[in-house]
Amino acid sequence: MGLTYEQRKELQRQLGNTIQRRRETLGVSQEWVAEMAGVPLAYVKLIESGDVTAPMAIQKIQDEIFMEQQRRNAEIRSRQCA
């Protein structure tokens, strides 16, 4: 059985909130995410607000945030080993 419209909207809002929290935790702007993910800034804003589902854009945004987290973790580890 599929999701109702309300359930889909709630999932979109939750996903948008998660992406926004991860981005803010990293201290990067929506503009930075859009540029690095190669998607329009409007997509980042709409996805974070839960107003749109764009699976390819969401995947690119999540991948870029993950890669930035990995880069920062690697920097921290290299400083700790030095």
pLDDT tens track for 46-58: 999 988 777 888 8
CATH architecture of structural domain 5-81: Orthogonal Bundle (1.10)
In 1-82, which ranges are continuous DSSP H helix? 5-26, 30-37, 41-49, 55-81
| Percent of the chain whose predicted confidence (pLDDT) is above 90 | 61
- Chain center to CA of 37: 9
Model's pTM, two decimal places? 0.75
Domain ranges of the chain: 5-81
